[in-house]
């Protein structure tokens, strides 16, 4: 009886040990699975966070630089327009001479038997209405003058054949045509080297953080449960 009891106890102990081993095995498997999921989730989220942070920072930097550049261009054009207005007011007679010379230069192109219309801004229109003979002296063919619906700084527009053909000799158009030159001048003033260097440093910082998290995850894998 004693031997039988001892054998039963021995079998029970073995069975218990086996069950414990199975429980431990399943526990370790579940723990490893859970650990792997946590690690992957953390790695993906952290990597996404770093990439998003990098993209957002670089985008904001470029947006600020572009805003500054465009703002300077706009300010320069406004300042230029204001200076031109001041000079036109001070030297209006010289400006009128400039207009008449400009019209004379293109006379050969437009002085034909057709509807010739010269379009001026409000102030210049009023001047030439009172001094229309100065326009008539230039042309052989009939010509009329009109005021533009949308006032411009100075210069003039030409409309031929009932508006089928038109030319724009306004100061506003001249400024717009030279906007590329203005932008080049602004580019000389604004050097984006410092911004690019800052972007490079931030990119290096992000890469360093990615390396660190990789090292942390390697250490995490080495932890024994």
Cα-Cα-Cα-Cα dihedral sign, residues 78, 119, 177, 94: negative
Q: Delimit the domains of the chain by residue range.
A: 27-86+191-221, 92-181
H-run or E-run covering 18: helix 2-90
Per-residue pLDDT at 224: 47
pLDDT in tens for each of the 225 residues of the chain? 555 555 555 555 565 555 555 555 554 555 555 555 655 655 566 666 666 766 666 666 677 777 777 787 788 788 888 998 999 999 999 999 999 999 999 998 898 888 899 999 999 999 999 999 999 999 999 999 999 988 899 999 999 977 778 899 999 998 888 877 777 766 666 665 555 666 666 666 666 766 666 655 555 555 544
Per the structure block, which two tokens stand in for 152?
């411009």
Q: CB–CB of 182/188 below 8 Å? A: no
The b/e string for 32-42 (b: 16+ C-beta within 10 A; e otherwise) is: eeeeeeeeeee
Backbone phi, psi, residue 141, to 5°: -95, 160
Q: At what angle do helices 2-90 and 179-189 cross, to 10 degrees?
A: 120
Instruction: Please tell me the distance from the alpha carbon of residue 98 to that of residue 116, in angstroms, as a whole number.
Output: 20
Residues with Cβ < 8 Å from 103, sequence gap 6 or more? 118, 135, 138, 156
CATH homologous superfamily of 92-181: ATP synthase, E subunit, C-terminal (3.30.2320.30)
Confidence at residue 179, expressed as pLDDT on a 0 to 100 scale: 76
Q: For residue 198, give the H/E element and its range.
A: helix 193-221
Q: What is the DSSP string of 85-105?
A: HHHHHHTHHHHHHHHHHHHHH
Report residue 220 as tokens: 């995490």
pTM (two decimals): 0.56
């Amino acid at each position: 009886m004693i031997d039988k009891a001892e054998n039963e106890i021995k079998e029970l102990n073995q069975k218990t040990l086996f069950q414990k081993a199975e429980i431990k095995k399943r526990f370790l498997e579940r723990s490893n699975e859970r650990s792997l999921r946590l690690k992957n989730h953390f790695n993906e989220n952290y990597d996404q966070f770093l990439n998003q942070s990098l993209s957002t920072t670089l985008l904001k930097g470029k947006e600020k630089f572009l805003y500054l550049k465009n703002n300077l261009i706009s300010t320069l054009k406004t300042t230029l327009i204001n200076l031109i207005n001041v000079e036109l007011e001070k030297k209006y007679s010289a400006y009128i001479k400039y207009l008449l010379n400009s019209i004379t230069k293109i006379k050969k192109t437009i002085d034909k038997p057709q509807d010739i219309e010269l379009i001026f801004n409000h102030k210049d229109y009023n001047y030439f209405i009172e001094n229309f003979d100065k326009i008539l002296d230039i042309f052989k063919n009939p010509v009329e003058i009109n005021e533009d619906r949308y006032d411009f700084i100075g210069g003039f527009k030409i409309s031929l054949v009932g508006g089928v053909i038109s030319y724009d000799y306004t100061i506003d158009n001249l400024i717009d045509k030279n906007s590329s030159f203005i932008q080049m001048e602004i580019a000389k003033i604004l050097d984006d080297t410092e911004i690019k260097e800052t972007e490079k440093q931030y990119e290096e910082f992000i890469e360093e953080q990615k390396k660190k998290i990789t090292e942390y995850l390697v250490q995490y894998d080495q932890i024994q449960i």
